[in-house]
Structure 1
């Protein structure tokens, strides 16, 4: 990716301003949406289709077009089984012609695509636009299963933003080169062009630096909690060799994706200090961390440490030709600097105000070095706190405030706010959702995101290069977790970053998604179906009282037709269609599925058992935080789990969870299926927020209180010895009570010990009920 952020952005906006709005000409196929994601700037459709067959040729007129033709031919062979030849001259038969014209009026990265009876013709002024047009043509050819045919169409298109990114964290959990290649393939098919690659952190150093071999011999490996027990590996880690990185950078470049490396500093440095203790502040060697969260290890500010960093950056720049080098700068807790007499002396010698100013000096020194080598520094928004080089680019993650401040100060900006574009946020609150953070960031929320803050005027807005989503992998130990988190939210992001803002259409986007989901299935992409999965709802307490339930069906995006069965069979298009709430007698099992317009499932069927046992049970995700703290995670029993389930919602700051609206009439006892989890979290200054609840027995207990965390104690169940099985059951009798009450379930185990979660909590009625 190459662009002049100010001039290129201005030209791009001007070019897009003259593109007409999205329009569909009528025709035999005019009612069916073209499954193009992201939405092009202008589409005009006419009658007819161009069928592609074994004798169709790809015509490439120069080296750039031949490279794109080679990629397109491979895509068509994989998806349609056709082995198309590449030639340098068109014949009389319809063909696919790719032409790059440097004098073309198409905008930067833009293109014109025509499909008619004469064939398909692609024209672009640069190689990026040529490639993006080939992606669009491939999407046209893969709208329907097994058909290699493109509708007649005229498309004029160009991206809204020059930075269309995705950040992958390989430091917390390690992905193979093949897995990253597959992710890059999908980025290219979404017209994203920046892979921000997070390569170093407290939990691992993932890039080979030949001058400093200890960075990978020591820093690339950590000992997990309970190493070697309960399925946890004795050692976790890995790193990418320089040969692997060169090959991956080249692979991405062939798909018009630039890899921007990140080496975090001055904080998130524990793996580096574990490798070379002299880089740290205390001189002591810590372990590579097996904990998540905010750590306190920083680089020191000695000249020798900057020599180390310059040597590292030399090797990084040799591997990555990207204009930008990301140096982190986030979450640098200054405790060690504050406690160090040497660092304090440095602050005084430099005439700086405080540790934040020292970080600014630190980052500026790196920026100067990068600039001298023709590169540009980019960092997280904390780099603004101590002053930052004038040409530094700011990535705003603590909400959008950093983007506003940076743009007003004349810095270029990439919008990447939490939680808005953090793909480690859960995409639903379903009980069958996998790991991640709360609050939920659903498909609609991503689609509604606006990269340019409304607080900026037109001049300031030109500094917004674009945006990216971040895939932090503390709770994504496998590529299946990553794919579940990324897809299909990446479709929404791609449209936000590519398509004209005034042409975005949520309903139109949903209508184009079914074909995209089919493409994912064909490519073995483990996308999440959370947005389309049926939600089966009833009033539990009313059903328990009446012996019958009024059932409502829906899904998150309110898209598709819902069909259901009541006899345990698989719901299909022939099953009853949901139109209004319906009543069933208990016990009943409701199964439901959402179908697209062609009758294909949009998600796997879901079911809900409606009987007294299930209505009196709250699954883990149905429990909620007690008042006072909204922090919530879904985690797995072990930090490096290789399966997607089970997952447990917990609050690491307060162990109280609420069983809401429990109908206690005739209830004799409570049964809880619990799990012991790892408390592998470093909280730095936030550790003071953890609520301590003193235990009365050797290992703590689970206390049940009525109505609030300070309410009457209904039961207290001692916890088992932590050396026993991770999953265990607890039970206790409950006193007679009437009415509907919230139940607070509180673990009183010491906060220095394990963390506990609840798999499910069930109320059991008396035999005479």
Structure 2
């Protein structure tokens, strides 16, 4: 069975030399062009967990081994992404040519493309075929030609709230690359933590004491992470969340000006005051800070946050967002921001990340409706609190309209399906995972199953195709206890997001669940825990 995710349209290949290609080894990775030497090393590293003892080292060209051959050629172009924002290997903010051709014959696998990146996308399909076949399985002979629908296909993780080690981030990058995602968005700062070293601001990342492990990335580590990701054609996008979510920044840099708050708000609700970037000293401090982030970042994008600036007037918030965008652009980077930034005005070059509107929040209106939502009751929600929440988020209902009317671009990350911190539905959780699944996920979200996540359609929004920047899943970390929690929340749902982002449509559930069932093997081979939803007929 062809279990590749994202789905690639394939046709049977001539049965020359046999009926199928055995997955049994040994295997060797061969670069047919000197320009693919480093890529061959990367592919070999991705294959290694799936071929223990059966993958030959570089330089061993034993003719008895099955070859996985990487080829650059000048074949006809397949298709270009239908979005205009991408991340190219040269560091530009334009789409790359990721189209590829794959051939599985009885004597081996051939990965062809016009670009190195395209060859890599073909190779990740080959890795999936080998991994999901199992040690004694067979690969069906086939030919496939494929290209992505969306140029930006991302995953956001949140080390600000729960720190992830450098090695854990590398494992996430490998997982993203295997599913043809090409952006890793790092939520590096929040009220709970600041996770990137900036030499000009040592107070943000003080040295650990008392034998505690360090919980930030040094300059050298951040650079090495970007290099590791680039070899897998994944671009790192750092997020410095401002003007709200700035509690840790306020602790480390006293004296930053507070944004003027709406009348009476301080007396009713506690909050961390957002920054006021119209204050000259505060703007100068933030400008120096963001300049260091931009200098350390290889890719073309820096995310400025701009979400949930609770405690700032509309005028103050708009002024701060305007300043943040200007600072990042002056440093030679393109700013990305959450959808609230649309209220500060939009230009055609702006990228806005859509994550919420009031209907998407799925909140009850009455006491009776609230009583039927045990997750909200357990989280302490009352009808009065929900009413206030809806009022605060009411402007989100028109944020996307603002972007479209002004000619900006929308990055799709709807909370309803692409926020992977949503709890799993208990009715689909196997008994042995009930305790683990019970503490995972944001408590206010309605629990859902894997099929629900896989039903998401990126084309279901009233957004012109040319205004869609791409697709990005998010995984915020309020409820994490460690890396295994991260992977259980990601898997298996990340796979369907990757399919929708690459193919531009949701998979057909009946056949998708059969493909997905074989990916438990792949995750197990990589040592990644996953939610073994009873909706899927998992294959051992």
Matched, 1:311 2:288: yes
Q: Distance in 2 between the 1:104 and 1:312 partners? A: 46
Out of 381, 386, 404, the position equivalent to 2:339 is: 381
- Residue 68 of structure 2 aligns to a residue whose secondary structure is strand
Q: Aligned to 1:169, which of 127, 135, 158?
A: 158
Structure 2 gaps, min length 5: 80-96, 261-268, 361-396, 428-433
Q: State the secondary structure of the residue aligned to 1:252.
A: helix
| Mapping for residues 163-562 of structure 1, pairs under 5 Å | 163-217=152-206, 238-281=215-258, 295-301=271-277, 302-335=279-312, 355-399=313-357, 401=397, 402-430=399-427, 432=435, 433-435=437-439, 436=441, 437=443, 438-456=445-463, 460-501=464-505, 504-529=507-532, 531-532=533-534, 557=535, 559-560=536-537
SS in 1 for 2:188: strand
The alpha-carbon distance between structure 1 residues 360 and 500, as it changes in their structure 2 partners (threshold 3 A), is closer
CA distance in 2, matches of 1:168, 1:63: 35
State the 1:163 CA deviation. Answer: 1.3
Contact 1:56 1:85 in 2 (8 A): no
Over residues 39-79 of structure 1, what are the superposed CA-to-partner deviations in whole Å (9 max), with x where a residue is unaligned? 11444455422346767543313454222211222333331
**1:328 offset after TM fit, Å?**
0.4
Could you say if the C-alpha distance between residues 357 and 128 of structure 1 is closer, same or farther in structure 2, counting changes exceeding 3 Å? farther
Report the Cα offset of residue 449 of structure 1. 0.9
Tell me how far 1:320 sits from its aligned partner: 1.6
- In structure 2, the residue matched to 1:756 is none
Q: Deviations over 1:109-153 (max 9, x none)?
A: 110011213532211122221111111111111223213753211
* Equivalent residue runs for 1:570-719 within 5 Å: 596=538, 600=540
SS in 1 for 2:101: strand
* Distance in 1 between residues matched to 2:66 and 2:485, nearest whole Å: 43
Contact 1:143–1:515 at 8 Å: present in 2 too? Answer: yes
Q: CA RMSD in A?
A: 3.0
What is the SS of the residue equivalent to 2:496? Answer: helix
Structure 1 residues 484 and 119, CA gap change in structure 2 (3 angstroms):
closer
* Cα deviations by residue, 1:202-225 (Å, 9 ceiling, x for unpaired): 11111111001111129x99xxxx
- Greater strand percent: which structure? 1
Normalising to structure 1: TM-score of the pair? 0.56
Are the counterparts in 2 of residues 484 and 528 from structure 1 also a CA contact under 8 Å?
Answer: yes
Shift of 1:441: 3.3
1:84 corresponds in structure 2 to 56
Kindly tell me the number of residue pairs found equivalent between the two proteins: 461
Per chain length, whose mean CA-contact separation is higher, i.e. which structure has more relative contact order (CA < 8 Å, sep 6+)?
2
Structure 2: distance between partners of 1:63 and 1:88? 16
Q: Given that residues 46 and 174 in structure 2 are in contact (C-alpha distance below 8 angstroms), is that contact kept between their aligned partners in structure 1?
A: no
Q: Secondary structure at the match of 2:143?
A: strand
In structure 1, the residue matched to 2:140 is 151
Residue deviations 1:462-488, cap 9 Å, x none?
211221111111111311211111111
Partner of 1:105: 77
Do the aligned residues in 2 keep the contact of 1:60 with 1:89 (CA within 8 Å)?
A: no
- The 1:256/1:147 distance shift into structure 2, 3 A limit, reads farther
1:485/1:58 Cα in 2 relative to 1: closer, same or farther (>3 Å)? closer
Would the alpha carbon gap of residues 294 and 200 (structure 1) be closer, same or farther in structure 2, given more than 3 Å must change? Answer: farther
Residues 63 and 216 (structure 1), Cα distance of their counterparts in 2 relative to 1, 3 Å cut: farther
TM-score by length of 2: 0.78
Alignment match, 1:662: none
